[in-house]
């Protein structure tokens, strides 16, 4: 894991937030390469979940909602984790994250399977667990009193539920259909950590799929299969993925059944990538009761009126980005210009996810080669994120782009001045192909076509 973290920092993929002031725990910024990678993850999710389907539409709802929303949803009352404090060093931890501890659904009792140890000092004496609300509280307006309390959203889902009737009416969608959203959420985690795996500010990729009661279990399985296929399609190793059923005492207050898609992260046996929950009609019914607004759906064909059940696939772009980085990391050996062999590090990212699609490399900073190389770069820049790199030996530049997962390097050499051709090198195989400059865009378009 240290290798991935160091690579991310060194190459500007993920950077410590507020570093000049000593940083802030588990808060990270995405650098030039990181923002492209994470945006590509989100584009891939949106394409699969919205663009390629005829039964899902998009939404972008506000972060700050009426405080009554969180009362109705149950978050004010039960969105808590069990907090304990080490009696020796006074560090605080989430109780159910300590080795040998299991927290019940209510969060106020902890079954100790074996004596847990403080990760900080090794002590085995803790305070009794108490509930800790995970929502960030703030105030709207100039007066900070109880009448102006609002919450930063802990999930994007509630904005979708609030807009269900408006979206259904505006788009004339019939149940079953889904509403998808990508947006920032906030959770005041007791023990954030493991790089960008668990942070207090994170980006969710969620979809609420509204269906007729009685069809929810079938749709739940459909979305479990769909989401697992997406993770595999974009490059995660099948042997590092698993589907885990939630036990009854793990289920959220709104869930009938929840399944997690988990990944074998190097810092834990298995970590959640995405949860797919059957939320039943809990949310729409709760908001209907709290607001007094009718949130039922009328089926014109069957003449039935009902509150739809909801199936929710919910993941995060931060955690997804981390999983794709870890799974893509490779080390092998490559020949040098002198005939020797050296270690090569490369990211075997899916081409759709790679932050830079093509690097244009003039063989040297020759006054004849540079203009040609820049013309080639300009012709590609309109189509993809590209990089122009003329610093250092050509082999070293190949290694730099292998390390960040660039699928193709295009080399402009002295022969290019005569034959109007360039050498295209593929990242994974290091195979090279000579192509006319005039055919370069069409060739790369075919190679980089989105799935």
Q: What is the pLDDT of residues 431-443, one digit of tens each?
A: 999 999 999 999 9
Measured CA to CA, the distance from residue 260 to residue 254 in angstroms comes to: 16
Q: Which residues pair with 434 in a beta bridge?
A: 423
Question: Distances from the Cα of 108 to the Cαs of 82, 159, 437, in angstroms?
Answer: 7, 29, 68
What predicted TM-score, i.e. pTM, was given to this entire model? 0.89
Higher pLDDT, 77 or 109: 77
Predicted confidence band of residue 76 (pLDDT cuts 50, 70, 90)? confident
Q: How far apart are CA 347 and CA 328, in angstroms?
A: 5
Q: Which of 309, 230, 261 is closest to 47 using CA atoms?
A: 230
As a whole number, mean pLDDT of residues 196-210 equals 96
Which range has the worst mean pLDDT, 51-60, 119-128, 303-312, 372-381? Answer: 119-128
Q: How far apart, in Å, are the Cα atoms of 151 and each of 15, 134, 139, 248?
A: 27, 10, 8, 29
Could you tell me if 89 and 123 are in contact, meaning their C-beta atoms sit under 8 angstroms apart?
A: yes
- The DSSP letter of residue 28 is E
Mean pLDDT of 178-185: 98
Reply yes or no on whether the pLDDT at 105 is more than 50.
Answer: no
pLDDT grade for 87, boundaries at 50, 70 and 90: confident
* Bigger pLDDT: 223 vs 107: 223
């Amino acid at each position: 894991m240290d290798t991935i973290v160091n690579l991310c920092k060194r190459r500007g993929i993920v950077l410590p937030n507020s570093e000049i002031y000593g940083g802030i725990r588990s808060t990270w910024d995405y650098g030039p390469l990181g923002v492209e990678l994470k945006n590509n993850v989100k584009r891939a999710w949106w394409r699969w979940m919205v663009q390629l389907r005829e039964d899902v539409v998009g939404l972008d709802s506000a972060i700050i909602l009426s405080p009554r929303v969180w009362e109705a949803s149950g978050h004010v009352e039960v969105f808590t984790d069990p907090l304990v404090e080490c009696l020796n060093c006074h560090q605080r931890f989430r109780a159910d994250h300590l080795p040998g501890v299991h927290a019940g659904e209510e969060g106020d009792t902890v079954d100790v399977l074996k004596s847990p140890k403080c990760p900080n000092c090794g002590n085995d004496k803790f305070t009794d667990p108490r509930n800790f609300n995970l929502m960030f509280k703030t105030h709207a307006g100039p007066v900070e009193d109880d009448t102006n309390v609002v919450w930063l959203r802990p999930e994007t889902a509630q904005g979708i539920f609030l807009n269900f009737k408006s979206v259904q009416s505006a788009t004339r969608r019939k149940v079953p259909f889904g509403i998808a959203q990508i947006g920032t959420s906030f959770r005041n985690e007791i023990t954030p950590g493991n790089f960008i795996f668990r942070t207090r500010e994170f980006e969710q990729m969620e979809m609420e799929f509204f269906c007729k009661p009685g069809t929810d279990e079938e749709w739940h399985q459909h979305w479990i299969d769909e989401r697992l296929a997406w993770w595999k399609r974009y490059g995660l190793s099948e042997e590092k993925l698993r589907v885990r059923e939630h036990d009854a005492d793990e289920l959220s207050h709104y869930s009938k059944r929840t399944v997690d898609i988990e990944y074998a992260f190097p810092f834990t046996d298995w970590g959640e990538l995405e949860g797919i929950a059957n939320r039943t009609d809990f949310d729409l019914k709760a908001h209907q009761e709290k607001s007094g607004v009718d949130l039922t759906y009328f089926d014109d064909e069957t003449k039935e009126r009902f509150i739809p059940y909801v199936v929710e696939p919910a993941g995060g772009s931060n955690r997804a980005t981390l999983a794709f980085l870890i799974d893509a990391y490779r080390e092998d050996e490559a020949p040098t210009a002198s005939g020797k062999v050296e270690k090569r590090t490369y990211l075997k990212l899916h081409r759709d996810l790679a932050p830079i699609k093509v690097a244009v490399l003039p063989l040297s900073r020759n006054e004849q080669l540079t203009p040609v190389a820049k013309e080639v770069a300009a012709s590609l820049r309109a189509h993809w994120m590209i990089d122009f790199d003329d610093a250092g030996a050509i082999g070293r530049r190949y290694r730099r782009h292998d390390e960040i997962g660039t699928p193709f390097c295009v080399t402009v050499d002295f022969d290019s001045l005569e034959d109007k051709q360039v050498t295209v090198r593929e990242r994974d195989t290091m195979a090279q192909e000579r192509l006319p400059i005039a055919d370069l865009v069409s060739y790369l378009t075919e190679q980089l076509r989105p799935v």
